[in-house]
Structure 1
Amino acid sequence: MEKLVMCLHRRPDAVYRLICFPWAGGGAFHFAQWSSLFNSSIEVYSLRFPGRESRVKDPCAQDMTTLVSDIVSSLLKELQEKPFAFFGHSFGSYVSFATAVHLKEKYGLQPVHLFMSGAYAPHSKSRPSVPPLKDVSDEELFSWINSLGGVPPEWLQREDAVKLLIPPVRTDLEVFQTFVCAEPKNVLSCDLTCFDGSEDLTHDLEEWKDVTSGETTIHELPGGHFFLLEPSNETFIIDYITKCIENADF
């Protein structure tokens, strides 16, 4: 578990866990910092996918099944211990959703709440088509991602960061491209919340209602694709997540 999870503030007496899934090419550090912003009832786990940060030598997952298996095999014991919720941004939304479905189908477990951020529903026909990754240069791929608003601000300021992050981004996009959810009708029963930026692409968030029989809520916050990095939005999201988790039925 230590390879997969970054947890900056261990809280063994916490009542709940929040598991955070990063965006394409992203690491664990940003969401790990959230742990200091939540109260003592919630312990935050931020996931580190293979091929980045301290797992840079681990082979990247080539498909969603492999990635979900890596997560579940490492976290199953912890997920069985106490109620948990998932938060995913962009690519992380799809990984968190796929993980939730796998847990319910195989182990009868599911989050008390799913929080999706900046993402189309997995079955949406509006999901963008990824360019042929084998035929696209790093520069072309970066430009394509940037055209969708999917480049974190720090990338634009550091050329060295782009060189380091493009390889895991390529792999994450391959996972995204091959992930198919053809029949999502009520595959889950937990409540679900979607967050989106007012200046981001339109993500047809209403379609997320198809994936669960629980209540679906939508919040639009000011900003582009990385609206969640704005301090005021981050505060809203963390306060909202706390209320939802603490009031969840389980």
Structure 2
Amino acid sequence: MRRRLHAAVRLFCDDWAPGLFGDIQMEKVISCFQRRPEAVVRLICFPWAGGGSLHYGRWGKILSSSVEVLSVKLPGRESRSKEPFFVSMQQIVDEVVCVLLATLKEKPFAFFGHSFGALTSFAVADTLKKSHGIEPIHIFLSGASAPYSETRIQASKRSHLSDEEFIKWLSSIGGTPPELLTNPEVVQLFLPALRADLHVVESYRCNRLDGPRLSCPVTCFDGKDDIPHDLQAWKDITSGEFTVRMFDGSHFYLKDPENERIILDYITKHVETSEMDYL
């Protein structure tokens, strides 16, 4: 039944999404803080667990005019705060593919995802290739083990921790100002979204691949002081070039201004190069 439903959703999107959803549905699910209709490539950014689209808003202004940044907004946060959280990876994939499919067919695109976003970006890319025959020109994966790696499968489950344990864990990985973690009202605003996303991650299953799913280049970023991630396992998703780049810092190393500058320069260089190859 579930497979038939997913197939029906894909068929519906192929046939009707461009006309029926239009700008209203696009703006609901996707943020674009800097419109660049003249851009030759789009960078689709996926949030980390509990995160929204705002962090990537700056990227749209910093990156060169050849790149337009689109950022995914999930239910339960930002302008979608009154919507129920998704409970499965398939729900995320179905919505993102349905809303973005027509846009992704217009011009070359690349994906960037950090942590939870790395897994969602791969799941979306996998479906796009299997069901619609399109793929990114480059995928940038950050701060996460491949979904089928033993490192991820054996990782500690966090979604059911008590609030006290949860906050202690958040403090240990960095990225959240300490003054926010000591404010109960603020904590209760972002904790539900974080728990919901971690539940999706913990219930997401992906069997080890029997061969590359993609052919585009894949780059993995990570912080040297973060918990160890099985980055090399990501190599199995593509027959294309595979690269690992490590940075000083822990899980949210990408928030460091110097690290961010290097990452954005790297992304710009590689998507512009890949776009020329695409043509």
* Category of TM-score, reference length = shorter chain: over 0.9
1:168 to 183, 193, 197: 193
Aligned residues: 245
1:153 aligns with 2:176: yes
Q: How does 1:111-190 map to 2 (within 5 A)?
A: 111-127=136-152, 128-131=155-158, 133=160, 136-147=161-172, 149=173, 151-154=174-177, 156-158=178-180, 159=183, 160-184=185-209, 185-190=211-216
Per-residue CA deviations over 1:144-183 (Å, capped at 9, x if unaligned) read 3444x1x5233x2212332111101111011101111113
Distance (whole Å) between structure 2 residues aligned to residue 99 and residue 209 of structure 1: 17
Contact 1:129 1:177 in 2 (8 A): no
Contact 1:25 1:169 in 2 (8 A): yes
Distance (whole Å) between structure 1 residues aligned to residue 249 and residue 158 of structure 2: 26
Q: How does 1:29-40 map to 2 (within 5 A)?
A: 29-40=54-65
SS at match of 1:139: helix
Distance (whole Å) between structure 2 residues aligned to residue 5 and residue 79 of structure 1: 13
User: Match of 2:48?
Assistant: 23
SS at match of 2:126: helix
For structure 2, which runs of at least 5 residues remain unmatched after alignment? 1-25
Deviation at 1:201, TM superposition (A): 1.1
Contact 2:32 2:69 in 1 (8 A): yes
1:103 to 124, 128, 140: 128
Per-residue CA deviations over 1:35-56 (Å, capped at 9, x if unaligned) read 1111111000111111111101
User: Match of 1:9?
Assistant: 34
Higher Cα Rg, which structure: 2
Deviation at 1:132, TM superposition (A): 6.3
Distance (whole Å) between structure 2 residues aligned to residue 17 and residue 23 of structure 1: 19
Q: State the identity %.
A: 49
Amino acid at match of 1:192: V
Give TM-score scaled by structure 1 length: 0.94
CA 126–161 in structure 1, closer or farther in 2 if over 3 Å, else same: same
Amino acid at match of 1:152: G
1:191 aligns with 2:217: yes
Question: Which moved further from structure 2: 84-93 or 183-192?
Answer: 183-192
Deviation at 1:8, TM superposition (A): 1.1
SS at match of 1:153: coil
Deviation at 1:74, TM superposition (A): 1.2
User: Match of 1:48?
Assistant: 73
Distance (whole Å) between structure 1 residues aligned to residue 200 and residue 65 of structure 2: 35
For structure 1, which runs of at least 5 residues remain unmatched after alignment? none
Distance (whole Å) between structure 1 residues aligned to residue 159 and residue 176 of structure 2: 25
Amino acid at match of 1:200: D
Amino acid at match of 1:211: I
Amino acid at match of 2:100: L
Aligned residues: CA RMSD? 1.3
SS at match of 2:28: coil
Amino acid at match of 1:244: H
1:218 aligns with 2:241: no
Deviation at 1:131, TM superposition (A): 4.2
Per-residue CA deviations over 1:13-52 (Å, capped at 9, x if unaligned) read 1100000111100011001111111111100011111111
Contact 2:159 2:196 in 1 (8 A): no
Give TM-score scaled by structure 2 length: 0.85
